Structure 1
Amino acid sequence: MPALRLTRFSSLRAFGHRDFVHVWSGALVSNIGTWMETLALGVFVTTVTGRAEATGGIAALTFLPAVVLSPVGGALADRFDRRVYLAVGTLVQALLAGILTVLAFTGRLSVPAVAVISLLNGCASALSNPAFSALVADIVPPEDLHSAVSLNSAQFNLGRIIGPTLAALVLAAGGPAWALFVNTLSFLAVLVALSRVRSSGRSSSQQREALWPGILRGARVARQDGGIFLAMMGTLAVSALVAPFIGLVPVFAIRVFHQGAAATSLLVAAQGVGAVTAAVMIGPIVEAFGRRRVLEVCLLLIGPMAALYWMAPTLHLAALAIVGLGALYMSTLAGLNTTCQLRAPPDLQARVTSLYSMMLGVGYAGGVWLQGALADRVGVRFVTASSALLLLALVLTQRLLRPRAFDATEAPVSFATAGEPSPAVKLEGGGEF
């Protein structure tokens, strides 16, 4: 199917590609189930333990494996048929979801069990996510990649809107077991979608490359390319200082506003509304002002918006603020991720994407645990708002010391040899936060 050439709604251009529509739809159904599970387990852990550190710790366990396994997943995804690779990872995640469901139905669900399954699920996700991102880059042309990345974020956040709303209803009607059961079934949608994708997304030349040298080659390209390195450091800073607002939503709703699953669902869904709105609007904005400028503005605004959310005096004002925070968070990560993928050689896209995932996992796992632990000691609002303002200080410092560093995110990229950046893109210092 030829790509749609929309001008007014350029954010939707990726929908003109048949394979992308299949992948997008399957991922949406799965993410609805995932967010049902996330809310159910977040409420369960917060209610049982009453500690922000425990809730943040469980959330961190899902992302912690990305620190080690994302580069491995990226190298493997560049060696095998990405559809088959993703199907295997999806089956593993479905099995883990099924175990949680059985434990819940039999009354044996516990915080230690949730912790172990969350860690294993994080391992499966860390190994699979780079292949998913690389497959998306395979099935849309470069000019529609920003649209695809934004729409991917939109479907993730549509799941964030629909999933928690359904979860709140299911929790009220039947308890967490039924929410976990729905999540288990949702993985079937991914398997059906992958069976209908025509592009294999496999680079046969990379099958001969040993695993560890392949990982190192991807890391070397990411370090030498100024735009990719800047995007990696930006991802690390945002994920550590702002992204913990995602995992700490149950803590904010229950401990600050003294409400339960319904308030948690409201905040999670409100973030999703902001993210989906931004995903639809971001294409024309990028075309009008340029990817570099939009990314820089988002990085400047996301810290103050996060602080505004954490300091909101009422639940409804917090819900309003998290709409804006969700929009900025989606736009920021979409810009950072697109920079990494556009500047990476095609045969290294999965590996570079895996390093992006690793930065996201390192920052989020460390940030959500540390902020949760400090929140138990000095207060939720003070810790989280201070972290958000620290990000603003880092971005302002970066702009002051290296005012042209963001130019690297839009500089033309050419490759002298496959996988090696030409001297034109080996910018001094690589950019840093």
Structure 2
Amino acid sequence: MASASFAPLRHRGFALALSSNFISSTGTWMQSVALGIFLQSTTHNSLWLGLLTVAAWLPAVIGSPLGGVMADRYSRQRWIQFNNLIQAGTASALAVAALTHHLSAPLACYLAIAEGFCSSASWAAWQSLLPDLVEKDEVLAAVSLGSAQFNLGRILGPALAAITLLVGSPGWCFAANAVSFIVVVVAFSFVRTPARVRVTTKLAMVAETRVGMHVAWRIRGCRNAIIGVGIVAIFISPFITLVPAMAIDVLHSGKVGTTWLVTAQGVGAVIGALTLPGLARRTSRLVVLRGSMAVMAVIEGLYAYSPNMVWSSLALVVLGGSYVGTLTGLNTSVQLHAPAKERSRILSLYVLSLSVFYPIGALVQAALAHHFGVRPVSLVAALSFGLVVAALSFFRPQYWHQMASDPSQLVRSVAD
């Protein structure tokens, strides 16, 4: 199991890209935790957490399709570097505002818009680069390692943020994030990929995006995964946004509690990312995907009414593992089914689904939590998600099997 999970690391380009992204993820989580604590501590209004999520994710409506087209047209490495350079600038602006005591909740949201746009624009390039860096049978493991590095950052980032906040201020967390983006810019100068056929059509970018949408809708393995991630995003993903509210206002654990909960989710996500690919090889990718979604619904409900920090942290470990198992399974379905020529554009639609429905769900749940409390809102979200998954399984069982890695061998892939 372990050898299968780590096999992609034998490729130098992948290892270099992954390690630089890990440093960037650590910086991102330092900023995310520090900014969440800043907003909740200064406003005591969970609605601002929802608005920050909207500001960070909704720009993907434009950024993600644009990024997909650009990544198919031009060098994916250079596109990633360009966007990380801009993100370094926005993180630097956030740091300066905080260190000079000019940071406000609205300003944080404005800067999040710019950073979110560039993040979504480069995401499709990074994801579509993975199959060019590893062997085809290592794609699931590569996607899982990508999730693992992000969630290792979720563990290390909050810990470093806690230390930084103890001896300094949020501004230094934002400055560290700016430096982490520069690391990516430098590292990707040394990432090499095989020559590929780039899109050289005279079609406008909007027309190219439409072509990608048409192909994604026609290929059910892509379409079902894009729909699936939207369902997860609107019901389950908002628990991430509400972590500071749960820690500070419900569990009364303050900054330390926030970092513990974020870290707990990261621990679970790393465990899931490193173990689930091996489990998928022994059973099937679809078994792991369906199991992860079922566990996610149950644990989200238990987390909603966890009595104290210990039980909340344990619940988030399991929730983190099942959450990354779900997103990895859906992402891999798109990776394996999307034609190479349209891969970036189709992956941009995947992140678009996540980026549209997550902020909508986060804003709605944050607003409801402000009036009714985090616990009941989280419980209703978990129950709603469970009902949707059950309805899919009962009324459209083919939804799952159409995401098999080899559509011509559906029966065998489920039975293996």
Same fold (TM over 0.5): yes
- The alpha-carbon distance between structure 1 residues 25 and 207, as it changes in their structure 2 partners (threshold 3 A), is farther
| Contact 2:295-2:319 within 8 A present in 1 as well | no
- The alpha-carbon distance between structure 1 residues 411 and 24, as it changes in their structure 2 partners (threshold 3 A), is closer
Please state if 1:289 is matched with 2:289.
no
Which position in structure 1 is the counterpart of 2:320? 326
Please state if 1:21 is matched with 2:15.
yes
Which position in structure 2 is the counterpart of 1:355? 349
- The alpha-carbon distance between structure 1 residues 82 and 207, as it changes in their structure 2 partners (threshold 3 A), is farther
- When normalised by structure 2's length, the TM-score is 0.96
Please state if 1:12 is matched with 2:6.
yes
- The alpha-carbon distance between structure 1 residues 193 and 397, as it changes in their structure 2 partners (threshold 3 A), is same
| Contact 2:159-2:259 within 8 A present in 1 as well | yes
Residue 351 of structure 1, CA deviation: 0.6
SS in 1 for 2:402: helix
Which position in structure 1 is the counterpart of 2:414? none
Deviation readout 1:317-339 (Å, 9 max, x if unpaired): 00000000000000000000000
SS in 1 for 2:118: helix
SS in 2 for 1:108: coil
Please state if 1:167 is matched with 2:161.
yes
Structure 1: 4+ residue segments shifted above 2 A: 200-210, 411-414
**Residue identity matched to 1:212:** V
Residue 411 of structure 1, CA deviation: 5.6
Residue 67 of structure 1, CA deviation: 2.2
Within a 5 Å distance, the mapping from 1:322-401 to structure 2 comes to 322-401=316-395
**Residue identity matched to 1:299:** M
Q: Which runs of 5+ in 1 are unaligned?
A: 1-6, 415-423, 426-433
| Contact 1:247-1:368 within 8 A present in 2 as well | yes
In 2, Cα distance between equivalents of 1:23 and 1:411:
25
| Contact 2:242-2:374 within 8 A present in 1 as well | no
**Residue identity matched to 2:160:** L
Please state if 1:148 is matched with 2:142.
yes
- The alpha-carbon distance between structure 1 residues 142 and 64, as it changes in their structure 2 partners (threshold 3 A), is same
| Contact 1:90-1:191 within 8 A present in 2 as well | yes
Residue 213 of structure 1, CA deviation: 1.9
Q: Which of 49, 63, 67 in structure 1 is aligned with 2:57? A: 63
- The alpha-carbon distance between structure 1 residues 121 and 99, as it changes in their structure 2 partners (threshold 3 A), is same
Which position in structure 1 is the counterpart of 2:90? 96
In 1, Cα distance between equivalents of 2:46 and 2:176:
27
Residue 259 of structure 1, CA deviation: 2.0
In 2, Cα distance between equivalents of 1:207 and 1:73:
16
**Range 69-78 or range 197-206, more displaced:** 197-206
Residue 9 of structure 1, CA deviation: 2.6
Please state if 1:244 is matched with 2:238.
yes
| Contact 2:333-2:405 within 8 A present in 1 as well | no
SS in 2 for 1:398: helix
Please state if 1:271 is matched with 2:256.
no
Please state if 1:230 is matched with 2:224.
yes
Residue 209 of structure 1, CA deviation: 4.3
Which position in structure 1 is the counterpart of 2:171? 177
SS in 2 for 1:204: coil
| Contact 1:60-1:368 within 8 A present in 2 as well | yes
What fraction of aligned residue pairs are identical, expressed as a percent? 37
- The alpha-carbon distance between structure 1 residues 89 and 411, as it changes in their structure 2 partners (threshold 3 A), is closer
Deviation readout 1:162-187 (Å, 9 max, x if unpaired): 00011011111111111111111111
Deviation readout 1:223-273 (Å, 9 max, x if unpaired): 111121111111001011001111111011001011211100000001010
In 1, Cα distance between equivalents of 2:295 and 2:264:
18
Which position in structure 2 is the counterpart of 1:299? 293
| Contact 1:78-1:202 within 8 A present in 2 as well | no
Residue 397 of structure 1, CA deviation: 0.5
Q: Which runs of 5+ in 2 are unaligned?
A: 411-416
In 2, Cα distance between equivalents of 1:283 and 1:140:
15
Residue 205 of structure 1, CA deviation: 3.8
Q: Which of 63, 80, 102 in structure 1 is aligned with 2:74? A: 80
Q: Which of 151, 158, 161 in structure 2 is aligned with 1:157? A: 151
TM-align CA RMSD: 1.6
- When normalised by structure 1's length, the TM-score is 0.92
SS in 2 for 1:96: helix
In 2, Cα distance between equivalents of 1:411 and 1:123:
31
Please state if 1:197 is matched with 2:191.
yes
SS in 2 for 1:78: helix
| Contact 2:269-2:324 within 8 A present in 1 as well | yes
Count how many residue pairs are aligned between Structure 1 and Structure 2.
410
Residue 73 of structure 1, CA deviation: 1.1
- The alpha-carbon distance between structure 1 residues 43 and 403, as it changes in their structure 2 partners (threshold 3 A), is same
SS in 1 for 2:397: coil
In 2, Cα distance between equivalents of 1:8 and 1:58:
38
Which position in structure 2 is the counterpart of 1:49? 43
In 2, Cα distance between equivalents of 1:27 and 1:151:
11
